[in-house]
Amino acid sequence: MQKAEFIKHINESLNSKSFAKLVISVPRSKSSELKKITIRLVEIKLESKLSFNYTYQTNDITKNFDLDNYETEVFEYLGNSFRNGVLLTAEADYRLSYSKKMVARLEKNKASTTGIKSKNHDKKKNRFVQIKNNKYLKSLGVITEKHVIAPNMHDKFKQINKYVETIDGIIKASSLKNKKSLRLIDMGSGKGYLTFAVYDYLVNTLNIEASITGVEMREDLVNLCNNIAKDCNFDGLNFSTGSIENYKTEKVDILIALHACDTATDDAIYKGISSNAEIIITAPCCHKQIRKQFDVKNELQDVVKFGILEERQAEIVTDTIRSLMLEANQYKTQVFEFIADAHTHKNVMIVGTKSDKKLDRKKYLDKIDSLKSVFGVKYHYLENLFKNNN
């Protein structure tokens, strides 16, 4: 497809820092108010963006897009509302034009722009997950046969890339930073987007001998992921059918549980602590167990008066207790947003890293009791796991 080939040239010029300008013009309708779209590379808050300037009959409008999600906008206009697209790069000029019968033609000409060196593009976007020749991303539908991000998968790709970047930073800041082999369990691995990416990065970028097991209840997803792993020759990656609650954990270096619903996150944290994992990484989903118990009889009554505010408060209280339980069990804990809310609402990450500093267990347990008292909570599921299994 000529349009896909044209988009490919745009991506290549962005990656090689040779992009100069893209102009979409020649409206199909003479009465169109929008006359032209001019696209340039800009830097906003130290991040490269593509700035789309829409030229109308009486005014201009500018919108900025991430380098990973501009393609849909180009697809919408080029070949639909407009018949002409011209890409100027340092290596060559490319022109995609459509006849009146909408037959596409792609031409390559000698570069009319040379010596491109813009401070706005000195910073190349760092990708921890590579697209070129990536078999598992193609099998999972994240990229197309032409090795470009699928139109509806830009947010997913950004999430995958940011997740691997986050994991990389967590490992390098821990006692595992110099280990040449790592054992990981990913509980609730789902379709395996993130599991595959972490394995690929550890093995093929960091040259670590990694062994990763993805645990997932849905047998069809387990079979799918095992087949993709085999096809990619990922010998140290396997997927197993089962629940987080019932899975028998052995000694692991890193335990991961992303978007495990409600108390399944607590089951994962408990298993991570019990198996003495060096790093425990969770991204909680749903917070029903604490919310049902709320019985607030103090100044905070109005905070939980409305359903949506009660829900948010339940999330905060639940994840605070989880963090305190990690600290009570000798883990240095961080809670942060690992990707913008626009890409996924399940974006809070709780990370516990084993500490060599002796922490006062009673101090943290007392904090939990105090917090429960404020909200009229009788028990937290994670607390009970320790009480009932010790």
Gap between the Cα atoms of 63 and 50, Å rounded: 8
Q: Where are the domains of the chain?
A: 2-121, 152-389
| Residue 38 bridge partners (DSSP) | 23, 53
pLDDT at 119 over 70: no
Contacts of residue 89, Cβ cutoff 8 Å, sequence gap at least 6 = 9, 13, 18, 19, 20, 111, 113, 116
| 3-class DSSP assignment, residue 162 | helix
Q: Give the other-Cβ count within 10 Å of 173's Cβ.
A: 14
Instruction: Kindly indicate the confidence band of residue 45, based on its pLDDT and cuts at 50, 70 and 90.
Output: low
Q: What is the pLDDT of residue 343?
A: 40
Place of tokens 């994240």: 142
Residue of 305, 327, 321, 324 lying closest to 372 (CA atoms):
321
Q: What are the C-alpha distances in Å from 280 to residues 106, 188, 287, 337, 360? A: 51, 14, 19, 16, 20
Fold of domain 152-389: Rossmann fold (3.40.50)
The residue that leads in pLDDT, 268 or 15, is 268
Q: What are the C-alpha distances in Å from 106 to residues 22, 97, 305? A: 14, 7, 61
Q: How do residues 230-250 score in pLDDT, each as one tens digit?
A: 999 999 999 999 999 999 888
Q: How far apart are the first and last CA of the chain?
A: 63
Gap between the Cα atoms of 228 and 213, Å rounded: 14
| Averaged pLDDT score across all residues of the chain | 89
Q: How do residues 69-108 score in pLDDT, each as one tens digit?
A: 888 889 889 988 999 999 999 889 999 999 988 899 999 9
SS3 content of the chain, % helix, strand, coil (to 5): 35, 30, 35
Place of tokens 């049902």: 292
pLDDT at 187 over 90: yes
Instruction: Kindly indicate the confidence band of residue 346, based on its pLDDT and cuts at 50, 70 and 90.
Output: low
pTM above 0.85, yes or no: no
Among 43-52, 266-275, 334-343, where is mean pLDDT lowest? 334-343
Q: What is the pLDDT of residue 72?
A: 87
Gap between the Cα atoms of 299 and 301, Å rounded: 6
Q: What is the pLDDT of residue 114?
A: 60
